[in-house]
Amino acid sequence: MRNLIILLILSFSLPSFAQFNNPIIEIEAMELIATYSLKWQEDSLNSDFIRQEDMLLFIGKNISKFTSENSYILDTIFRKLSSWNEFNALTSDRNNQLPHSAFRYKILKNYPKSKITCMEHSLDGTFKYEENLELVNWQLVGDTATIAGYKAQKAICIFGGRKWEAWFSPELPFNDGPYKFNGLPGLIVKIFDTQMHYEFELISIKKPRNKLMIDYEEKSYIEATKFEFFRAEDDFRADIVNRVKEKGASNNVQQAAARNIKKRNNPIELKRK
């Protein structure tokens, strides 16, 4: 039943991915690809169920892009399609094991300059909102450690209603990190909130084998503030039964969808303004 719910929720998002022939704006070359393992507690009331997914940080000279590895793979597959017939053939073939990600966002840092641009798919379309690049006020702490083979220093902050502990390495001279985190004198190699609901840890950093570009897809985005996006997301959660019913799901599936989304109650940002 859980797999059925996941596929149903994924089907909400597929049309927003499948907009063919959208212009792809190449911003700048990737210099490094940092891969992070993200472990998170999806249900704030169930500490025994911890999920894991790999995330990618594409680092350029001036700009970076953060997304899940599975979303990146899915985007790469969809960009090769040129028609709805190809799309329908791909998604209807049960032998095609399309990757699924719990995270549909893409985050560009310093694009435009001094801004963070967040894009996230929803049932209603693809939202886009901007925030200031300097989101976080860091406090450096004297502790040191070796993490992922790099000498690291400790910093703490409060962001999104959570207290975070970060470890950054001056050996990696990039003031960047996973998700929206940035602004430390070295790449963040590990960061977690003090409740251990979200933990990012660097597992590899390497140069791309071939020339790859950090890019941006031009499409009909729903321009919004962060608050407006999260409000739309909350409205979807509150109306999940009707949304699933509109897809022709049975009553059992409707109720299962409601139970499933009720457990997804622990977003990374608790404070949304």
pLDDT tens string 19-74: 567 888 999 999 999 999 999 999 998 999 999 999 999 999 999 999 999 999 88
Provide the β-strand partners of residue 153. Answer: 144, 168
Domain range spanning residue 223?
Answer: 2-263
pLDDT at 236: 74
φ/ψ (deg, to 5) at 143: -65, 145
User: Would you say residue 156 lies in a domain?
Assistant: yes
For the chain, what is the domain count? 1
Q: Is 271 within a domain?
A: no
When mean pLDDT is compared over 4-18, 77-91, 149-163, the highest value belongs to 149-163
Q: Contact at 8 Å (CB) between 223 and 118? A: no
Q: Which two tokens stand for residue 254?
A: 């409707």
CA distances from 48 to 41, 42, 44, 45, 171 (A): 8, 10, 10, 9, 35
pTM recorded for the entire structure: 0.88
114 domain-assigned: yes
Q: Looking at residue 57, what is its pLDDT?
A: 98
Nearest CA to 51 among 272, 268, 270?
A: 268
Specify if 74 maps to a domain. Answer: yes
User: What burial class does residue 138 get, using C-beta atoms within 10 Å of its C-beta: 0-12 exposed, 13-18 middle, 19+ buried?
Assistant: middle
| Direct distance between the N- and C-terminal alpha carbons of the chain, in angstroms, rounded to an integer | 35
Confidence of residue 255 (pLDDT cuts 50, 70, 90): confident
Please return the burial class of 244, using the count of CB atoms within 10 Å of its CB with bins 0-12, 13-18 and 19+.
buried
Q: How far is CA 165 from the centre of its chain?
A: 20
C-alpha dihedral, 120 to 47 to 137 to 37, nearest 10°: -60
